[in-house]
């Protein structure tokens, strides 16, 4: 039992030691500034990485638009992707594999110069999920900022209460000194909420930033899929079956017609 109490006391001492680092009113301001800097730095890094992740689909869409013709075997073999001197991200290798797999499924029944036929809808084969256009770990940043702000705020309140307790004890029974100690407690405690405010503000700003990229990733994937769809004929197995059934019905109608 004594061992458990000793461990608990040691753990409490560690927490109180961390709380003492947030004494006064200057520490919360420094923490708030650090949270804002961390939010800005995270946005810059996320923007660079997400932009690199979109580089290959954007270039592929740009090259297809520049060709101004349907997708043929000659066109696919003549595409020079990736473009030289481009800074592609790690996800580009996966995207290249997805595009190569999609091209392997195309049919060119009437020669290399004929318009391609695909058994798969480009919207499914070249979707955001298939291309790996995800926000990934950046989704947890807004919640992390709020959590860090709250934890630091509570640590600051612990430090403020301890400091106020010492002041009230030292003031004895003098009502003026007790009043002053309580006033100092409220002043210091209110300053601690700056850290929560900074975390919440950073969370909102980063959340809006992620929403922008959510829309942008959808737009990049949709632009590529739409560009590909407009340059080939999509004949899914369901559509082929419908065409076969329709042909069978027409043949039966012709055979059954009176002569």
pLDDT at 199 over 80: yes
Task: Note the helical H segments in the chain.
Answer: 2-20, 26-53, 55-67, 73-78, 91-104, 122-125, 128-131, 141-171, 175-229, 237-256
If we measure between CA atoms, which residue out of 208, 199, 195 comes closest to residue 39?
A: 199
Question: Given the DSSP bridges, would you call strands 233-234 and 117-118 parallel, antiparallel or unpaired?
Answer: parallel
> pLDDT tier at 115 (50, 70, 90 boundaries)?
confident
> pLDDT tier at 171 (50, 70, 90 boundaries)?
low
**Which helix H or strand E contains 233, and what residues bound it?**
strand 233-234
Across the range 210-216, mean pLDDT stands at 96
pLDDT at 230 over 50: yes
What would the pLDDT profile of 25-59 be if each residue is shown by its tens digit? 677 788 889 999 999 999 999 999 999 999 999 99
**Which helix H or strand E contains 118, and what residues bound it?**
strand 117-118
What would the pLDDT profile of 127-163 be if each residue is shown by its tens digit? 999 999 999 899 999 999 999 988 888 888 887 777 7
- Here the contacts of 252-256 (C-beta below 8 Å, separation 24 or greater) are none
What DSSP state is assigned to residue 107? B
What would the pLDDT profile of 62-111 be if each residue is shown by its tens digit? 988 888 788 888 888 777 776 666 778 788 888 989 998 998 888 876 66
Q: Domain extents for the chain? A: 24-243
Residue 53 has which token pair? 């992740």
């Amino acid at each position: 039992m004594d061992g458990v109490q000793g461990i608990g006391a040691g753990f409490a001492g560690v927490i109180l030691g961390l709380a003492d680092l947030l004494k006064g009113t200057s520490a919360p301001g420094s923490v708030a500034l650090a949270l804002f800097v961390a939010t800005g730095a995270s946005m810059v890094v996320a923007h660079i990485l997400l932009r690199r992740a979109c580089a290959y689909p954007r270039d592929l869409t740009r090259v297809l638009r520049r060709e101004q013709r349907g997708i043929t075997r000659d066109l696919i073999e003549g595409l020079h992707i990736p473009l030289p001197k481009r800074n592609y991200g790690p996800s580009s290798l996966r995207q290249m594999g997805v595009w190569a797999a999609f091209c392997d499924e195309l049919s060119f029944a009437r020669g290399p110069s004929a318009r391609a036929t695909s058994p798969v809808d480009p919207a499914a084969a070249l979707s955001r999920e298939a291309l790996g256009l995800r926000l990934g770990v950046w989704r947890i940043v807004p919640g992390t900022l709020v959590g860090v702000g709250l934890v630091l705020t509570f640590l600051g309140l612990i430090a403020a209460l301890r400091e106020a307790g010492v002041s009230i004890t030292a003031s004895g029974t003098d009502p003026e000194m007790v009043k002053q100690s309580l006033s100092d407690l409220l002043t210091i405690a209110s300053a601690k909420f700056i850290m929560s405010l900074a975390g919440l503000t950073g969370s909102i700003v980063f959340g809006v930033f992620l929403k922008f990229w959510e829309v942008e990733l959808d737009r990049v994937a949709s632009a590529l899929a739409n560009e590909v769809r407009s340059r080939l004929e999509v004949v899914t197995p369901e559509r082929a079956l419908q065409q076969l059934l329709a042909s069978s019905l027409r043949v039966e109608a012709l055979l059954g017609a009176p002569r």
